[in-house]
Amino acid sequence: MKLNIGTVRSDYAGFNSIARIAEQSHGAFSDSVEVDFSSCNFFEANMAAPLYVVVARLRDELNDVSLINLKSDLDTILRKNHFLTKFQKTTLIDANQTTVPFKVFRLQAGEQFFEYLESCMYGKGIPVMSAALTKRFQQSLFEIFQNAAIHSRSVSGIFTCGQFFPRKHRLDFTIADAGVGIRDNIRQYTGNTKMSSCAAIKWALTEGNTTKTGNQPGGLGLKLLKDFIRMNKGKLQIVSRFGCYEFSAIGDNCKKLDHDFPGTCVNIEINTQDTNSYYLKSEPSSNDIF
Amino acid sequence: MSDRVSIRVADLVGGSLCISAEDGQKVFEKVLPLLKKSKPINISFDHVDMVISLFLNVAIGQLYGSFSEDEVRALVRVEGLSGDDMELLKHVVDNAKKYYSNPKGYDAAWQEEEEEDEQ
């Protein structure tokens, strides 16, 4: 089976393209599957994370997956970010140090994820960001990672990857899982079996909403992430099953994908030149909080 | 010596990362019996480098399921959090108060949501 991937950027068309090859290969078992890059003119390296959702699901069904016809510059960047080690290719040194390596984590590996961020993301080609921005960015990534760990039920783990675009002063970081998707969790929780993927994403973004059981409050992680992105003038994308949500300074919208993306992917793009302090003008004291 | 019992979070979670619900539950389970005995406590985040809402929901937000706002305000103090983490805790506390005032209310409005057909 050959799957034609086309051009993939961190946008609606790119996610749709990945969802399309997932749908085309759905049901394949113990087959040889080639992902063909011959018509791919550009592939943003952070999109390796959602692409691996498709690969992991195929491998879970004992398919032999390979990538073919990669142009040399794409081959180079995907070696630099270690993605091609999953296809038995060696890594290349990232001299410009603009990649945050592709990595697969187990769901419970929060502490390893912290070590990965500490060792891979800072003090390299990626610019030194303000301490406040660095901290809020890390907190945001943890909120996403732990959301995936708690809710995804992804048997293949969590896939992460990042790419710095120096001329745009933008850093994209992507966290994906091959789980059930936001929609299925919320359908199960609310009992509304017809809720669409976009409605489910909106539900998850509403402060206080959580499918976590056990009589505990929750549902702040994605709301806080949105607040951070708003201040930073960055971009947030959440793709889950048929839903493709995007939030940025110009507003938000959710469009239905033409194909079913078999999991959830969150991409955050931050403005690395941001110098916001992220502190309240008057810091709350312990007395003010309770 | 202060009358307050000090809960050292970094000691309980075994490190500087407060990022999981399980670790939040460890803190909650230390705090719960003390508050039941009306003992004033001080939750110290000294030596904690990273804290996220998930942890705080379980460790502290969950207290509002067992105690009134007045009880929590009278007995609980927090120290060692930076200004922006105090802001995060404020979000968590406000959210918990709302949640426990009407735990099922969040969901009712979404029962009718449906759009285009999906598989």
What CATH number has the domain bearing residue A41? Answer: 3.30.565.10
Put simply, whether A284 touches B (Cβ < 8 Å) is: yes
User: Is residue A287 situated within a structural domain?
Assistant: no
User: Is residue B91 situated within a structural domain?
Assistant: yes
User: Is residue B11 situated within a structural domain?
Assistant: yes
Query: Pick the residue with more confidence: A201 or A121?
Result: A201
The strand pairing partners of A39, in sequence order, are none
User: Is residue B109 situated within a structural domain?
Assistant: no
Of A138, A215, A221, the CB nearest to B50: A138
Cα nearest neighbour of A111 on chain B:
B17
pLDDT exceeds cutoff 60 at B107: no
pLDDT exceeds cutoff 60 at B108: no
Q: What pLDDT is attached to residue B59?
A: 96
User: Is residue A17 situated within a structural domain?
Assistant: yes
ipTM of the complex, rounded to two decimals: 0.82
Q: Is B26 exposed, middle or buried (0-12, 13-18, 19+ CB in 10 A)?
A: middle
Query: B106 and A279 in contact by Cβ < 8 A?
Result: no
Give dist(CA B50, CA A134) in Å, integer.
11
Query: A224 and B88 in contact by Cβ < 8 A?
Result: yes
Query: Pick the residue with more confidence: B102 or A183?
Result: A183
User: Is residue A290 situated within a structural domain?
Assistant: no
User: Is residue B113 situated within a structural domain?
Assistant: no
- Please report, as a single letter, which amino acid is at residue A188: Q
3-state secondary structure chain A: CEEECCCECCCHHHHHHHHHHHHHCCCCCCCEEEEECCCCCCECHHHHHHHHHHHHHHHHCCCEEEEECCCHHHHHHHHHCCHHHHHCCCCCCCCCCCEEEEEEECCCCHHHHHHHHHHHCCCCCCCCCCHHHHHHHHHHHHHHHHHHHHHCCCCCCEEEEEEEEHHHCEEEEEEEECCCCHHHHHHHHHCCCCCCHHHHHHHHHCCCCCCCCCCCCCCCHHHHHHHHHHHHCCEEEEEEEEEEEEEECCEEEEEEEEEEEEEEEEEEEEECCCCCCCCCCCCCCHHHHC
Assign B70 to helix, strand or coil: helix
Of A146, A256, A283, the CB nearest to B83: A283
C-alpha atoms less than 13 angstroms from C-alpha of A161 in its C-beta half-sphere: 25
Q: Is A95 exposed, middle or buried (0-12, 13-18, 19+ CB in 10 A)?
A: exposed
> For chain B, what is the domain count?
1
Residue B29 is part of which domain span? 5-101
Rg (CA), chain A: 19
- Please report, as a single letter, which amino acid is at residue A281: K
pLDDT, tens digit (0-9, with 9 covering 90-100), for A227-246:
888 888 999 999 999 999 99
User: Is residue A201 situated within a structural domain?
Assistant: yes
Question: Lowest-pLDDT range, A203-207, A266-270, B88-92?
Answer: A203-207
Q: What pLDDT is attached to residue A123?
A: 58
Region B59-88 average pLDDT: 94
User: Is residue A289 situated within a structural domain?
Assistant: no
pLDDT exceeds cutoff 80 at B104: no
> For chain A, what is the domain count?
1
User: Is residue B77 situated within a structural domain?
Assistant: yes
H/E stretch holding B80 reads: none
Residue A115 is part of which domain span? 2-278
User: Is residue A283 situated within a structural domain?
Assistant: no
Question: Lowest-pLDDT range, B11-20, B38-47, B96-105?
Answer: B96-105
Query: B87 and A283 in contact by Cβ < 8 A?
Result: yes
Cα nearest neighbour of A257 on chain B:
B118
